[in-house]
Amino acid sequence: MGLLKLFWSLNWGARLGYVIVIFFAICALFAPWIAPYGQSQIVGDVWEPLFGEFVFGTDQIGRDMLSMLIYGARNMIGLALLTTGCAFGLGALLGFLAATMRGWVDQVLSRFVDMIISIPTLIFALIVLSATGTAIPWLITVIAITYAMPVFRIARAVAMDIEVMDYVEAARLRGEGLWWIMREEILPNAMTPLAAEFGLRFCFVFLLISGLSFLGLGLQPPLADWGAMVRGNADGIAWGYLHPLVPAACIALLTIGINLVVDTAVQKASGLRDDQ
């Protein structure tokens, strides 16, 4: 009852965002039990019509689109969460180090980050993945490094504001070490802006994975992937089939839902009035 009361106290945009996110989270968590078929199982003819025997028809080789969408949610959300978590762990750690140690450490890390950020994200990912291959560990590593750089900047800026506070200076005078100050003083006070940024970066990571999959460098068959589904069924547009629009709509819908939830979290954290 408490959760329902809290839910209905939100504005309509936040409620819509939570419904979308929870829906896709359920699909991701319970995909093997929800999906009517396997993600690589051929069950019918090519491009069978939508809302016929199969709810969203079949794809270019006869796999059930609904099952692939459900498994795609599991694969893409799981990969995006893991990658975003790695990006935040690396970026926040380096940002806190730069803010607390300052001097040459700050300069070296900041210039390295500037160099990486100067390379367009998609081009950087395409170049590295073309050379290393598209195995999931490489995919996670490349995207995590790419998005750790903006996180570094935010973490460094937040940590520099916190680092000059009296309670941090008192901790130094007590003889507390660098890691203790970062863990006990800076991290708890930096959680709100970093949590809001996590949601936004998750969207960017999710969209980058979708884009890479569309270009053939994301998740590889037999794993279901919304970006690859758009690419694989794109030829159907010329024949009047709307199948590629279904995974594209899922990508857009999840992105919108996450942004609505993040907007609400930022609004609550900043103390702004929440209009109904």
Q: Compute CA distances 1 → 19, 69, 245, 261, whole Å.
A: 17, 32, 38, 21
Q: Which of 56-65, 188-197, 202-211, 264-273 has the least mean pLDDT?
A: 264-273
Distance, in Å, from the CA atom of 193 to the CA atom of 23, rounded to the nearest integer, reads: 26
Q: What is the pLDDT of residues 233-256, one digit of tens each?
A: 888 887 888 889 999 999 999 999
Q: Is 38 exposed, middle or buried (0-12, 13-18, 19+ CB in 10 A)?
A: middle
Which tokens belong to 31?
Answer: 């995909």
Q: In the block, which residue shows the tokens 């050379």?
A: 131
Classify the C-alpha dihedral 37-42-47-48 as positive or negative. negative
User: In whole angstroms, what separates CA 78 from the centre of its chain?
Assistant: 9
Mean pLDDT of 69-77: 93
Question: What CATH number has the domain spanning 13-270?
Answer: 1.10.3720.10
In this prediction the pTM is 0.87
Mean pLDDT of 167-196: 83
Q: Which of 31-40, 56-65, 150-159, 235-244 has the least mean pLDDT?
A: 235-244
pLDDT of residue 60: 87
Mean pLDDT of 108-137: 88
Distance, in Å, from the CA atom of 201 to the CA atom of 85, rounded to the nearest integer, reads: 10
